[in-house]
Amino acid sequence: MAAEKIAFITGGNKGLGFETARQLGKQGIKVVIGSRDLEKGNAAAAKLKADGVDAEVIHFDITKPADYQEAYRYLDKNYGRLDILINNAGVAGEDLFGGNRTSTTTPEVLHETFDTNFFGAIQITQTLLPLIRKSPAGRIVNLSSILGSLTLQSDPKSPIYNAKSFAYDASKAALNAFTVHLAHELRDTKIKVNSAHPGWVKTDMGTDAAPMEIGDGAKTSVNLALLPDNGPTGAFIHLGETLPW
């Protein structure tokens, strides 16, 4: 029997991506994880399968444009559609806890960060959108961050006011703009496009200092991936709560 829904998760072999795949799989969804390192991806898929998840892995490096077409071909050949796209792959090319160094942020760090967090997410979405249009209820989830909220970044009373990592924060603000614009373009379709703030989570990027466990960090993406027809689109969400842009 064919899976009810098909999900593709970029950077799905570890951390939030892996846990998102696990939680979606537990909901009976077929998950395809994209992994830059196929050996690590195969190991992740084996763990998911051992946990009862219907999982597959493909080689996918978000910095390699040729991989976008390979992902399209794989999903089109095997399933003919895509129900859920989770743009989870992300990088932080600077020390997120090193203080405000905007004036010395290099072009190299900006390019590296935007290539993955912004340009890559846009290009894979545009590439796979024809398959998402074939879904009865397509869902696109962009993994953003509260650090991309210009409202909170500019408010001296905000808890993130002193958290200023220019390249990373700017890339997430730009990703949020993509969410708003694509959601508007697709407003008359059944496709929903939202930004997810997972929270400060114990991952390689978040470090062990983070207060949230990975299982809780994945909940927002999973909820947005499974939104009902009357759910939001063009929103910035954390655990069901709307965040300011």
- Per residue in 185-203, pLDDT (tens digit) is 999 999 999 999 998 765 5
CA angle 202–183–118, rounded 5-degree value:
50
C-beta pairs of 148-153 under 8 Å, 24+ apart in sequence: 148/172, 148/173, 148/174, 148/175, 148/176, 148/195, 149/173, 149/176, 149/236, 149/243, 149/244, 149/245, 150/245, 151/244, 151/245, 152/243, 152/244
- Please report the DSSP string for 103-129 in residue order: GG--HHHHHHHHIIIIIIHHHHHHHHH
pLDDT reported for residue 213? 81
Domains of the chain, by residue range, sit at 6-242
| Class of domain 6-242 as given by CATH | alpha beta
Run of H or E residues at 32: strand 30-35
In this prediction the pTM is: 0.95
| 96 — pLDDT class (breaks 50, 70, 90) | confident
pLDDT in tens, 215-235: 888 999 999 999 999 999 999
pLDDT digits (tens, 9 = 90+) for 104-113: 999 999 999 9
Decide if pLDDT at 95 tops 90. no
In the predicted structure, residue 1 carries a pLDDT above the cut 50: no
Q: What is the pLDDT of residue 207?
A: 61
- The yes-or-no verdict on residue 214 having pLDDT over 80 is no
Q: Give the model confidence (pLDDT) of 149-172 as tens digits.
A: 999 999 999 999 999 999 999 999
